[in-house]
Structure formats: C-alpha cells, structure tokens
Amino acid sequence: MVDINKWEFITPGIPDIYFAQDNNPNMTKEEVRCLTLCKVRLKIDSVVYDIGAGIGTIAIEAALLAKEGLVFAVEKNPPAAAIILKNAKKFGVNNLRLIRGEAPEALAELPLADRIIIGGSGGRVKEVLSAAQAKLKPQGRVIVNAITVETLATAVKQFAAMGLDEVNTCCLNITRVKQAGRAKIFKGMNPVFLIVGESRGK
C-alpha cells in the first residue's frame, strides 16, 4: 500500500499522486522531473531558481536534493502559488522560498544562482533567458522545459546567443500504461523538449 504522506527516498521522481494538486493541471510529471533534475546536476548546496514553478513539484524535489542550498520557486498564478506552500509544508522543506511574480521582473532581487530551471515563461522565454544569464554563476547550469514549438525554437536560438557550453537538447516521449475496462492500453503524454547548457567559467 502506497503511503502518499511519506517520502523517505533520496532519488528524484516522487510519484505525482504524492503532491497536493487541488485540481490544478499545471504540473510537471514525474518522468520529466526525473530527467530535468538529473540534467541540471544539483549539488547539496546549490542555489536554484524554478521559474514558472506551477504547483512546485520540481522546486520541492530540488529543495530535498539540495538540502543545504536554497530554492526559489517563482510563480505568478495565485492558486498555484498557494499549492506550492501546501506542498512545501507536506514535504517539510524549509529551504524553499516562494516568489510571487513573473519572470524576468521577479528575479531582480534574488541572489545569483547555481542552477536555473525554466518550466514556464509566459511566452517570454527570450527575456527570461536573458535575465537568467545575468543571474547565473560561472559554471552554472540552465535548463528549459519546452512544450511548444515556439518555446523550443526560441530557447535553442537564445542558448546559442548566450555562448553556453555543453548545450544539448533532447525530446521526451513518455507513454504510460492505463487501465481501460478489462484491458490495459498505452496512453502517450505530450512530448517535452529539454534544452540545457552551462555557463563558461571565469
């Protein structure tokens, strides 16, 4: 029996059902979270931005992994922001700070970041990445999760303009098995592109 009120493991990929959702569809799914957190290469003391945090699933997992660091969950939607706080309390993370607002403006007063995760940009991915570049420490890593063709194209072009090292892009096509009556069927999720790069050291 799954106890959704307890998570005792150190690996990323908390099942979706563990998170408070309150019927909010703005949630990064478990498999996408796993690869996002692996590719961003968190350290135990990383300072992390989760921009467009939704209900906070990535921010919560990042806070658990970077337990001696600090995670800033940036979210402009008030109902989603409220759920972030609910999830932070549920998982007992005290190194997460909710930033109510929209990037890039909401980043202005934040400390420099080791890792920046962009899950939502409100159609302003170019501006958000420009602001992220100014906030990223040397040898910091930035990752964009793109679900639209427009975000993908803009992110790839902007990464090239930023002169990042180790830039790579991959596409996740996740299929889950679902019960359909007496049979089980395959149900595909929307593809997600992950674009990641690292700032040059100084």
Instruction: Assign residue 147 the CATH number of its domain.
Output: 3.40.50.150
Taking the C-alpha atoms of residue 4 and residue 11, their distance in angstroms, rounded to an integer, is: 16
Is 126 part of any domain?
yes
Is 14 part of any domain?
no
Banded model confidence at residue 9, pLDDT cuts 50, 70, 90: confident
Task: Look at residue 81 and tell me whether its pLDDT is greater than 90.
Answer: yes
State the total domains in the chain: 1
Taking the C-alpha atoms of residue 177 and residue 58, their distance in angstroms, rounded to an integer, is: 23
Is 21 part of any domain?
no
Is 16 part of any domain?
no
Is 12 part of any domain?
no
Please say whether the beta carbons of 119 and 52 come within 8 A: yes
- What is the average pLDDT value for the chain, to the nearest integer? 92
* Domain encompassing residue 116: 26-198
Is 20 part of any domain?
no
Q: Is 71 exposed, middle or buried (0-12, 13-18, 19+ CB in 10 A)?
A: buried
Q: What pTM did the predictor assign?
A: 0.93
Is 30 part of any domain?
yes
Is 111 part of any domain?
yes
